[in-house]
Structure 1
Amino acid sequence: MCGIVGAVAERNISNVLLEGLKRLEYRGYDSAGLTIIHEGELHRERQVGKVQALVDAVKNNSESFKGHIGIAHTRWATHGEPAQHNAHPHVSGKVAVVHNGIVENYGPLKEELIEKGYTFTSETDTEVVAHLVAEAYKETNNLLKAVEKIVPLLHGAFALGVIHVDNPDELITVRLGSPLVIGVGIGENFIASDQLALLPVTNRFMYLEEGDIAVIKRDSIQVFADGQPVERNITELDAKNHNADKGEFKHYMLKEIYEQPDAVARTVEMGATSNDLKEEFLQRHEALLAKVRNIQVLACGTSYHAGLIAKYWFENLTRLPCSVEVASEFRYRNPVVVDDTLIICLSQSGETADTLSALRETQRRAKVGEIKGLTTLSVCNVATSSLVRETDIFIPTLAGVEIGVASTKAFTTQLAALMLLVLKVGKVQQRIEPEQLSEIVTEMHKLKGQLDRSLNLDQAIEAMGQKFEAKHSTLFLGRGVQFPLALEGALKLKEISYIHAEGYAAGELKHGPLALVDKDMPIVVLAPKDSMLDKLKANMQEVHARHGELFVFASESSQLVSEERLHVIHVPDVNEHLAPIVYSIPVQFLSYHVAVMRGTDVDQPRNLAKSVTVE
């Protein structure tokens, strides 16, 4: 959510920090700031709103912001309203701190510090950290030791960047439950919440582990775990695969919708030949997959909807029981996890705090013997993320960088990866007939063409979207495997257009939602030609009889045609199991065009963040 950038270099680093913040804007934020040590003093600037306001303010006082060491931050408000005095960095005497995450026990710590004479100028939990470091430095006269001393006092999940005027060549960083990466340069080194922020200055990265504290200098990086020096590997990335340019598109979201045919094709080709799974796909994990007797999916938001679709696939194709749960609820309700369960964690970023916490709690229970035969697997778009490093098995989604907060290509590539997994488990356990497996794999290779044809619906859906611009609420309906996609369509519409929307299983209409239907309530229906189509048509008649206006995405062969209060857009015919992947594009287009018409910030919707790293 919040974004950290820090640098220590031989050159002036103010522009490096500001460019890093610009590249982190996708994460969601409400204010931005930076602090640089210049001529033996801390120089700080903070602004509410966009990073550009900070850039302009620094430019107007550029001489004060020339320095070789500094930290910068974009804030997404948790403690205290979005305001300049709450923006980071926070300062205590000669100490400046930036912080991602939450210090859960900041209240009692703040009271103790006030008793010691410290004055607070913000409502944030972060200012507590700055004062604690300043107090510890009085006793240690060593910045590393001061930080090491205060970290055990902090409860919660956080990442820190700390500088001190008396140590003008030293940046201290801490990673505990919140992502942080070190960028390795030549005569300069960096820190950031996301490697994307640093790609203009380096493509070599060191990924910190939980609890690591590092000392960053121009020509050295020292990492400590439990007070002892440790080695962390350096990974070199291909910057071409992390392109964040909008190109010819008005918004990142639109660009990413159009990238889906290639992204899905890449993901399919990762695991499948023309009519079978590749022999090497998950080959070294076959022994683990062979013993699985139950599936548990943990995810949040859009990834949760992908998990719900996978539940239909697992149970229909392999007859293995599958449960799907919102990670934030799973962790706290003392759930029953049976032996020989495969835990599947879904996350675009691999840093989603709730999903990581649920995973770690389950692993803890397995370690003490409460769960036997536990296997963990991640489906993720970031191969270097915490989630990937902490699970037994990893399946990448080859979506490339996704910037728009409303997930598009990460969702459809998750679905492609999950279907490959379902087929692999079915094959390893001989729970799926070879003929059926071959049929589905063959159909998966057709997805690129079907998705390409779906992109041709752009203008027609834009015209349809005009009927939603002034609406206040919408229902999305689907049956069978389309029901989770109805939930996803509703989420997309509400998160970027701010129209209230709900997704329902169409058969549930008569159990409550039908009371909402009138001439002012648009009803979006997902209607592929499948075994549920006739029942879905009956549900549509229930709406039509009550003067509801229907907006239907239907198969070309469905025989549905437009008439009064029934607007039909035909979607390419697709295999029944794979239909949610193709039908994702129409619902994404609808939410996108309605949001543009309503003038919202499509890529950075209010109050939301791309990577949710707090509970």
Structure 2
Amino acid sequence: MCGIVGYIGKNDALQILIGGLKKLEYRGYDSSGVALIEDGKIETVRASGKIAALEDKLKSKPLHGHVGIAHTRWATHGAPTEQNAHPHQSFDGNISIVHNGIIENYAILKKKLQSEGIEFKSETDTEVVAHLIARYYNGNLKEAVLKAISKIEGTFGLAVICKSEPDTLIGARRGSPLILGIGQDEFYLASDVSAIIMHTQKVVYLDDNDIVEIKEDGYNLLNTHSQSVQHEVQDVEFDADAIAKGGFAHFMLKEIFEQPEVLRNTMRGRLLYAEGNAKLAGLDTNIKELRNINRIIITACGTSYYAGMVGEYMIEDLAGVPVEVEYASEFRYRNPIIKPGTLV
């Protein structure tokens, strides 16, 4: 799972970005990198391997600035090399981006850009987005990002900086999580709240097709139609200690030992032992619809897929309703036969 961190404010961006990347190490990655706007230029340092390798390179090339982006990559398009690590820069050096997700039509876009004389330096689908934004840039980064993502098919969480607008950080989301963190005269972008929780507990969760334009004095949320949108600022209910290893050697070991407490918390308030019933908030209000369900499809990926398989056995045994478990990543490309009475 790739990780994104972005920062704009009055403090040293590099330490905040590196600290955020370290909090995302539990997600797994094979390379990392940072890009900062420094003295009117975008300075980038990338490394394959652990974040420690990136820190070693930064010792010989320290970066300074108040606006920057960072990334941990899990290779999809292209090998896990420094060349393919994020951030990726545009052909003119004006734009730098980090990206989570998959650009499904990248090959078509890449071919078109190459026909216009643009040279690619990596094997990634992400580099296409950097060049597209630069191609559309005409003095307004937000508009260039909007035009670029209108050409993209697939999923993305994006953080974008531009040397021509050194006071701006752009975030965009479609199908890949992205969070805006709100501090005191400073703002953060992250793919996971764990990357920024040590700095702020006030966050805005972006919805699909949201764009956020961030400056030191505020932010502007809009959708892909350039219409203003509003989202509630939420308080994160856990702190940095909750996402630390807590004395365990590895996050997986910590999570194994946490299972009993997690299960208790999950069931708390849902199992009514005195009545012998389970309360599932949100489902009991549609009891009439549920009675008409004659087939259930559970879509999931990874560990959720295995949880779905457990659910399949339990629902069929207890409710007598046929259940199918499908990989969500494949289900979206199918033309499934879904008739009335099917719950997905």
TM-score range, shorter chain: over 0.9
Instruction: Tell me, in whole angstroms, the C-alpha distance in 1 between the residues paired with 2:316 and 2:293.
Output: 13
Instruction: Tell me, in whole angstroms, the C-alpha distance in 2 between the residues paired with 1:327 and 1:118.
Output: 35
Aligned to 1:98: 98
Aligned to 1:212: 210
Instruction: Tell me, in whole angstroms, the C-alpha distance in 1 between the residues paired with 2:279 and 2:72.
Output: 45
Aligned to 1:561: none
Aligned to 2:148: 150
Aligned to 2:58: 58
1:181 paired to 2:182: no
Aligned to 1:337: 338
Aligned to 1:22: 22
Aligned to 2:131: 131
Amino acid at match of 2:32: A
Relative to its length, the structure with more helix (as a share) is: 1
Aligned to 1:162: 160
Unaligned runs of 5+ in 1: 344-615
Instruction: Tell me, in whole angstroms, the C-alpha distance in 1 between the residues paired with 2:118 and 2:271.
Output: 62
- Describe the shift of the 1:88–1:328 C-alpha distance in structure 2 as closer, same or farther (beyond 3 A): closer
Pairing 1:248-263 to 2, within 5 Å after superposition:
248-263=247-262
Aligned to 1:310: 311
The alpha-carbon deviation at position 224 of structure 1 amounts to: 1.2
Q: Match of 1:221, SS?
A: strand
- Describe the shift of the 1:107–1:279 C-alpha distance in structure 2 as closer, same or farther (beyond 3 A): closer
CA contact under 8 A between 2:26 and 2:251: conserved in structure 1?
no
Higher deviation after alignment, 41-50 or 148-157: 148-157
Aligned to 1:449: none
CA contact under 8 A between 1:35 and 1:42: conserved in structure 2?
yes
TM-score, with normalisation over the residues of structure 2? 0.92
The alpha-carbon deviation at position 201 of structure 1 amounts to: 0.9
Amino acid at match of 2:128: V
Aligned to 1:235: 234
What per-residue deviation string (whole Å, max 9, x for no partner) do you get for residues 103-153 of structure 1? Answer: 22222322322233322211112122112222211xx21111111111111
Instruction: Tell me, in whole angstroms, the C-alpha distance in 1 between the residues paired with 2:167 and 2:174.
Output: 24
What per-residue deviation string (whole Å, max 9, x for no partner) do you get for residues 392-423 of structure 1? Answer: xxxxxxxxxxxxxxxxxxxxxxxxxxxxxxxx
The alpha-carbon deviation at position 234 of structure 1 amounts to: 1.1
What per-residue deviation string (whole Å, max 9, x for no partner) do you get for residues 277-315 of structure 1? Answer: 366854434344343332222222332222222222222
Q: Match of 1:108, SS?
A: helix
Instruction: Tell me, in whole angstroms, the C-alpha distance in 1 between the residues paired with 2:27 and 2:183.
Output: 24
Pairing 1:396-545 to 2, within 5 Å after superposition:
none
Aligned to 2:8: 8
The alpha-carbon deviation at position 236 of structure 1 amounts to: 0.7
TM-score, with normalisation over the residues of structure 1? 0.53
What per-residue deviation string (whole Å, max 9, x for no partner) do you get for residues 414-461 of structure 1? Answer: xxxxxxxxxxxxxxxxxxxxxxxxxxxxxxxxxxxxxxxxxxxxxxxx
Pairing 1:511-590 to 2, within 5 Å after superposition:
none
1:31 paired to 2:31: yes
Q: Match of 1:315, SS?
A: helix
Instruction: Tell me, in whole angstroms, the C-alpha distance in 2 between the residues paired with 1:320 and 1:61.
Output: 61
Q: Match of 1:229, SS?
A: coil
Pairing 1:257-296 to 2, within 5 Å after superposition:
257-275=256-274, 276-277=276-277, 281-282=281-282, 283-296=284-297
- Describe the shift of the 1:293–1:126 C-alpha distance in structure 2 as closer, same or farther (beyond 3 A): same
Instruction: Tell me, in whole angstroms, the C-alpha distance in 2 between the residues paired with 1:241 and 1:248.
Output: 14
Instruction: Tell me, in whole angstroms, the C-alpha distance in 1 between the residues paired with 2:280 and 2:145.
Output: 46
What per-residue deviation string (whole Å, max 9, x for no partner) do you get for residues 247-294 of structure 1? Answer: 232222122111111211222222113342366854434344343332
Amino acid at match of 2:51: V
Which structure has the bigger radius of gyration? 1
- Describe the shift of the 1:50–1:12 C-alpha distance in structure 2 as closer, same or farther (beyond 3 A): same
- Describe the shift of the 1:166–1:342 C-alpha distance in structure 2 as closer, same or farther (beyond 3 A): same
CA contact under 8 A between 1:298 and 1:327: conserved in structure 2?
yes
- Describe the shift of the 1:115–1:334 C-alpha distance in structure 2 as closer, same or farther (beyond 3 A): closer
CA contact under 8 A between 1:13 and 1:67: conserved in structure 2?
yes
Instruction: Tell me, in whole angstroms, the C-alpha distance in 1 between the residues paired with 2:253 and 2:155.
Output: 33
Amino acid at match of 1:292: I
- Describe the shift of the 1:124–1:312 C-alpha distance in structure 2 as closer, same or farther (beyond 3 A): closer
Q: Match of 1:121, SS?
A: coil
Q: Match of 1:230, SS?
A: coil
Amino acid at match of 1:42: I
CA contact under 8 A between 2:94 and 2:162: conserved in structure 1?
yes
CA contact under 8 A between 1:38 and 1:66: conserved in structure 2?
yes
- Describe the shift of the 1:12–1:319 C-alpha distance in structure 2 as closer, same or farther (beyond 3 A): same
Unaligned runs of 5+ in 2: none
Instruction: Tell me, in whole angstroms, the C-alpha distance in 2 between the residues paired with 1:50 and 1:162.
Output: 23
What per-residue deviation string (whole Å, max 9, x for no partner) do you get for residues 143-186 of structure 1? Answer: 11111111111121112111111211101111112111111111
Q: Match of 1:85, SS?
A: coil
The alpha-carbon deviation at position 241 of structure 1 amounts to: 8.4
The alpha-carbon deviation at position 195 of structure 1 amounts to: 1.1
1:171 paired to 2:172: no
Q: Match of 2:42, SS?
A: strand
Instruction: Tell me, in whole angstroms, the C-alpha distance in 1 between the residues paired with 2:162 and 2:130.
Output: 10
Instruction: Tell me, in whole angstroms, the C-alpha distance in 1 between the residues paired with 2:160 and 2:82.
Output: 20
Aligned residues: 339
1:224 paired to 2:225: no
CA contact under 8 A between 1:186 and 1:219: conserved in structure 2?
no
The alpha-carbon deviation at position 59 of structure 1 amounts to: 3.2
Amino acid at match of 2:205: Y
CA contact under 8 A between 2:197 and 2:239: conserved in structure 1?
no
Aligned to 2:191: 193
CA contact under 8 A between 1:189 and 1:219: conserved in structure 2?
no
Instruction: Tell me, in whole angstroms, the C-alpha distance in 2 between the residues paired with 1:277 and 1:211.
Output: 40
Pairing 1:40-79 to 2, within 5 Å after superposition:
40-62=40-62, 65-79=63-77
Instruction: Tell me, in whole angstroms, the C-alpha distance in 2 between the residues paired with 1:151 and 1:332.
Output: 21
Instruction: Tell me, in whole angstroms, the C-alpha distance in 1 between the residues paired with 2:71 and 2:209.
Output: 21
Q: Match of 1:228, SS?
A: coil
- Describe the shift of the 1:108–1:313 C-alpha distance in structure 2 as closer, same or farther (beyond 3 A): closer
